[in-house]
Amino acid sequence: MGMEIKDKLYRLYKWEYFFLCVIVIATLIMHFCIVTRPTDLILDEQHYIKDARNIVENHESLRGEHPPLAKLIIVAGIKTFGDNPWGWRVFPILFGTVSIVLFYFLCRRLNMSPTASNIAAFLLAFENLTFLQASVAMLDVFCLTFMLAAFLLYVNRRYINSGIAVGLSALAKLNGALALPVIFIHWIFSRQGRSRGIIFTILFSILSFVELMILFEYIIAQRVTSSLDPFLRIKDMLSLSGSLTFATVTHPYASHPWDWLISYKPMAYWYMPHYTAAISFTIWALIIPTFAYLVYKAVKRDEAGLFGLAWFAGTYLIWIPVTLITDRVNYIYYFYPAVGAICIGVALGLSRLIDIFRNRPSGKLKWTALSVVIFILFMHLVSFLILSPLIPVDFAKLVGLTG
How does pLDDT run across 295-323, given as a tens digit for each residue?
Answer: 999 999 999 999 999 999 999 999 999 99
Whether residue 103 has pLDDT greater than 90: yes
CB neighbours of 12 closer than 8 A, spacing ≥ 6?
A: 18
For residue 1, being part of any structural domain is answered with: no
Confidence of residue 67 (pLDDT cuts 50, 70, 90): very high
245-293 pLDDT per residue, tens: 999 988 889 999 999 999 998 999 998 888 999 999 999 999 999 999 9
**Residue-level pLDDT at 50:** 96
Q: What is the pLDDT of residues 130-163, one digit of tens each?
A: 999 999 999 999 999 999 999 999 999 999 999 9
Residue 8: inside a domain: no
What integer is the mean pLDDT of 368-381?
A: 97
Q: Is residue 215 part of a domain?
A: yes
Q: Is 7 within a domain?
A: no
Number of domains in the chain: 1
Which domain does 379 fall in, by range? 20-398
Q: Does residue 4 belong to any structural domain of this protein? A: no
Would 403 be classed as within a structural domain? no
Report the alpha-carbon distance of residue 200 to residue 212 in Å, rounded.
Answer: 17
Q: Supply the pLDDT for residue 230.
A: 84
Across residues 325-351, what is the average pLDDT? 97
Confidence of residue 192 (pLDDT cuts 50, 70, 90): low
Mean pLDDT of the chain: 93
What pLDDT score does 294 carry? Answer: 98
Residue 248 falls inside a structural domain: yes
Residue 312 forms part of a structural domain: yes
